[in-house]
Structures are given as structure tokens and as C-alpha cells.
Amino acid sequence: MTASVALKDKEVAVDEEGYLVNLADWNEDVARTMAADDGIALTDNHWEVINFLREYYAEYQVAPAIRVLTKAIGKKLGPEKGNSKYLYELFPYGPAKQACRYAGLPKPTGCI
């Protein structure tokens, strides 16, 4: 099954759950477009999490599970952001799953 996200100038391929097929296709427009398709306008707070995930993936080659993400965000950005309430408000479809999708990462291992 093939699907894609339509950007201004091109289409990028995504899998049946909406994750990028080629991680190299990612740019900020991809994230904005995916979010807009979900009815979300990305704010600085969203970007903070998205950029964190991209850095985490570059370092460890793995998309962190929700528990790991929450803990790691808390360590880096403080406890007021490292909790599931804050993250669920930003990413109501599930912080790890949804934010990883916008960040161009694979679906986190262990998420169902």
C-alpha cells in the first residue's frame, strides 16, 4: 500500500500508518504538513519535542518509547515538560507515536 504527504512542490512517500518511508525525505515542511493534516499548527513547544526526537534518533538510531521520551525530555527540558500530561496536550494522538511521525522517524518500537 502506498501513501504520500503532499508538500507544496512534491510528494513524499509514507507507510500505511503515515510514517516516512525514507527518513532522508524529512524537512520542516513535512512536519508542518503532517500536523496540518491532523488539524494542528505547530508551535515552538511542538518543535522543541520534534527537534529533541530528531537529536535522540541521530545519537541512538532508535525512536524512543513514550516512557523513555517523557523521562529524557524531563532530564533535558525540565519536569514541567517531562510529564505525560504536557506531552499529550501537545500531541493528543500519543506523544511518542505522533511526534515521531512529524519528526520523520520510524514508529517507536514497542508502541501498539
Assess 40 for contact with another protein (CB under 8 A). no
The window from 5-13, 42-50, 52-60, 97-105 that contacts another protein (CB under 8 A) reads: 52-60
Residues 6+ apart with CB under 8 A from 79: none
Q: At CA 95, angle to CA 91 and CA 99, rounded to 5?
A: 80
Assess 64 for contact with another protein (CB under 8 A). yes
Assess 71 for contact with another protein (CB under 8 A). yes
DSSP single-letter state for residue 20:
B
Least distance in Å: CB of 29 to another protein? 25
What is the helix (H) or strand (E) element at residue 42, kind and residue range?
none
Residue 100 is a catalytic residue: no
